Chains A and B, each alone.
Chain A
Amino acid sequence: GAGVSQTPSNKVTEKGKYVELRCDPISGHTALYWYRQSLGQGPEFLIYFQGTGAADDSGLPNDRFFAVRPEGSVSTLKIQRTERGDSAVYLCASSPGTGVGETQYFGPGTRLLVL
């Protein structure tokens, strides 16, 4: 079956611009996670959704970052007034639920470059 997909695969933008990154989870997965990965580092948690609601957004670095999942499926990560430090790979993952040990399946990521 189809895995997690993310669009765009690459995004180049200018400092100060607004960007939206999209994630299509595996069909039927209720939990969706966003992570950010800088070069040479492990992924860093940003936010996760259980259904439509953000269950934990403690990883969002500041109020320029926002994410939605209005129908409990597709999610969009929104970054306002982008800064060069936002450049990273943004990974999305989904899992059937949030039970103990449930595997998260990752998408290929969106590589964001802020000039």
Chain B
Amino acid sequence: GQNIDQPTEMTATEGAIVQINCTYQTSGFNGLFWYQQHAGEAPTFLSYNVLDGLEEKGRFSSFLSRSKGYSYLLLKELQMKDSASYLCAPVRENAGNMLTFGGGTRLMVKP
């Protein structure tokens, strides 16, 4: 099975930096996805990490430590449109890439 833990809610200020953490316990780990989901909309892909380290993609970066069962999503230069839920989803090997999502972190960006 999988245990996924991420904060329920976070608040940050426009222009600031925010880090959203995710810890997981999974058998046969095969990488971790981050998705963004605006209220009432479909989740959209942000990043996939399978190796340890930081991957940067514009204002968003994602970090993974396999040995610690830990990942974070880093959002820089926050914009109001970044207000959304951020979903962490580790993948089990031999599971057809089926995603098991955490409960999501609802980020509110304030002016």
Do B96 and A42 touch across chains, with their CB atoms under 8 A apart?
Answer: no
* 9-residue interface stretch from B10-18, B58-66, B67-75, B98-106: B98-106
Give chain B interface residues in 38-63, CB to chain A under 8 Å: 41-45, 48, 50
Do A43 and B101 touch across chains, with their CB atoms under 8 A apart?
Answer: yes
A4 to B45, CA, bound (A): 14
CB distance from B100 to the nearest CB of A (A): 6
Interface centre among B50, B99, B102 (most CB of A within 10 A): B99
Do B97 and A42 touch across chains, with their CB atoms under 8 A apart?
Answer: no
Do A104 and B45 touch across chains, with their CB atoms under 8 A apart?
Answer: yes
Interface residues on B, range: 20 to 34
Do A91 and B42 touch across chains, with their CB atoms under 8 A apart?
Answer: yes
- Total interface residues on A, CB under 8 Å, equals 29
| Chain B 71-111 near chain A by CB (<8 Å), digits 1 or 0 | 00000000000000001010100011111111110000000
Whether B23 sits at the interface, judged by CB under 8 Å, is no
Contacts of A35 in B (CB 8 A): 99, 101
A42, A50, A100, A108: the one contacting B41 at CB < 8 Å is A108
> A-contacting residues of B (Cβ < 8 Å)?
30-31, 33, 35, 41-45, 48, 50, 87, 89, 91, 95-104
14 A-B contacts, Cβ less than 8 Å apart? A4-B42, A31-B97, A33-B99, A40-B103, A41-B103, A42-B104, A43-B87, A45-B99, A98-B97, A100-B31, A100-B97, A101-B97, A104-B97, A108-B42
> B-contacting residues of A (Cβ < 8 Å)?
4, 31, 33, 35, 40-45, 48, 50, 55-56, 59, 91, 95, 98-109
